[in-house]
Structure formats: structure tokens, C-alpha cells
Chain A
Amino acid sequence: MDCGELAHLRRARDLLDREYARPLDVPAMARAALMSPSHFARQFRAAFGETPYAYLQSRRLERAMALLRRGDLPVTDVCLAVGFTSLGSFSSTFTRLVGEPPSAYRGRDHAAMAPVPACVARTWTRPGWLGRRPAQPQPAQPQPAGPQPAGPRAEPSRIGEARPTAERIA
């Protein structure tokens, strides 16, 4: 695949990363890559190792995990905020790919993740990207003085994009 085609595919993947909450379908993704849907689906998989829809789904779950780590949002709100339309489908998909139900994930202590930049947390937590989701990262040493998380369980929501706010998921 040449660089130009990869760049088009990258732009489509960047679109999924940004617009995951929208009801994106393959034709919409393919338009971002300036390709026909069938060519796009084939080339996306060849380039990134998974189908566009699988990528979108794991992106949504990774965002859901970020929102759940805040600890204060109802699972239903999180489900809708990341683009799922059915709570049942969200819960079963989450449980299958993350290994525990959303409510159990939300209930665990995620404080160790707080200092990790959003773009790194995103890669670490995306289901299926680095094998199984890793355990909570253990800081090598106590965090030095300096910028500390602003609030309890404050977490960015997208790759660096807006951290989840009440307005955003309202």
C-alpha cells in the first residue's frame, strides 16, 4: 500500500477516534478515506489489522472505560455517551472484551491511572490492542511534586480530547 493510501486510511481512523459517538457506518468512514466502501473495508483491515467496525467498537469501549474510571457516572449514561444505543449490547460487549461488567470496572480503584497522559491511557486500555488489558500501572516511584490530577478520578475522555464532563454526556 502506498503512503498516500495509508494517509487516507489514517484520516478515516482519526475520524473514528474523534467521532466515535456518532452512528458511523462503513460508507461514512469510506468517504473520509476517499474510497469505495468495499475497498476501504479491505484496505483498512490490511493496514490496521482489524475491521473498521471492530476498531470503532474498541474505541467506544476504551472511551467508556475512561468515563467509568471517573466513578460517578451511571453505566447507562456512559453507554449512550460513547455511541452505543442499547444498554444490553453495551454491557455484553464490554464484559466480553474487557473481562468484567461495566459496573464492576467502574467500582474498582483507578487512582493509579490518573497521572498517565490521555493518549497513553488510550492505547493501554483499548481492548485488544496490547493483548489483554493490562493491570493498573504501578508508578516506578512516588509521584514527584508537580501538577497533580485536578480532582478525584478526573480523567480525560478522548485521546486528549475533552475529559468527560457533565455537559458532554448530558
Chain B
Amino acid sequence: MPLTITHTPVYCLDLDQALDFYTKQLGFEVRQDVPMGPEMRWLTVAAPGSAHELLLAAVDHHIPPVDQAAMRDMVSKGNLAVFLEVDDINTVFETLRAAGTEILQEPVDQPYGVRDCGMRDPSGNHLRLSQPLGR
């Protein structure tokens, strides 16, 4: 049975900030942006050419009120992560650093076959960028 990942949620505190970061800083493109009243916005982005969309999910829009505070805490404390692969990690890292992104770890070769680095998106999600070694 073929299986394909189509949407992965990234929980955000501020949707406009997230959209700006994931498109302008990281290079994602908007696939769907559907406002559904003040309480809901369906906003997805994807890498050019990719069918796998990130659902930029505002905590206020996608989490029931009873759990919103808990989810905001989880995001703010930095407990959630997003893993991305890029072609030129050194350049991407320097660009993001120059733009003021919070840095967790400079690029380094890892023994399991990637060069990776760590930073935080505007909501506090741990963004792990990697590039396969030998490319």
C-alpha cells in the first residue's frame, strides 16, 4: 500500500510571523491560505516542487480552548521540533543567523551521515536543518 505524507503540522504562536519566517527566510511557498473567520485559518506551505505541506497551525486556531494554554507552553518552552533538509547548509545557516534567528548549534558534521545545525523558529520550535554528507 503506497503511503505518502501530505501535511505535517507546525504549531505556531503567531501565524503571520511564522509565515514570514517559513517563506521569506526558509524559502517555502504558500500552497493554501484559507481564512475561515476570525477563529480559523488553513495555511499550508511547501518546498518548491514538494507535495509534502507544512500546516502552519496557530495554537489558537487548531487546539481546543481547554488545551491551548498547555500547547502554548509546549511551544514556548521549545519542546517541539521541525526537521528539514537543505542543499547548502552553511549558506542557509549564515543567512538565518544574519537575519537574527536564535541559534542553537552551528553546522557540524555528524557521525550518522549529515551535517546539521539547530535554531529556533519565531515561536520557539526547534528547527533542525541537515545536509547529507558527501553532497
A interface with B by C-beta (< 8 Å): 1, 3, 6-7, 9-11, 13-14, 17-18, 47-48, 114-119, 146-151, 154-156, 158-163
Contacts and interface: CB of A to CB of B under 8 A. Distances in A.
Interface string B45-85: 00000000000000000000000000011011110010000
A10 B77 contact: yes
Given A147-B132, A154-B111, A160-B117, A1 B104 contact: no
B79 to A, nearest CB: 9
Given A146-B113, A154-B111, A160 B105 contact: yes
A147 B108 contact: no
Contact of B104 (A9, A17, A147, A151): A17
A114 B112 CA distance: 7
Nearest to B133: A147
A6 B73 contact: yes
Helix, strand, loop or mixed for chain A's interface?
Answer: loop
Contact of B110 (A17, A18, A48, A118): A118
B111 A150 contact: yes
Interface residues of B, number: 28
Given A160-B128, A161-B105, A13 B78 contact: yes
A161 B133 CA distance: 16
A115 B77 contact: no
A163 B111 CA distance: 8
A48 to B, nearest CB: 7
A126 B128 CA distance: 20
Contact of B77 (A47, A116, A159, A161): A47
User: Of B112, B116, B126, which is in contact with the most chain A CB atoms at under 10 Å from its CB?
Assistant: B112
B124 A10 contact: yes
A71 B92 CA distance: 34
A66 B121 CA distance: 27
Given A159-B104, A159-B105, 6 more contacts: A3-B13, A3-B73, A18-B105, A147-B132, A163-B109, A163-B110
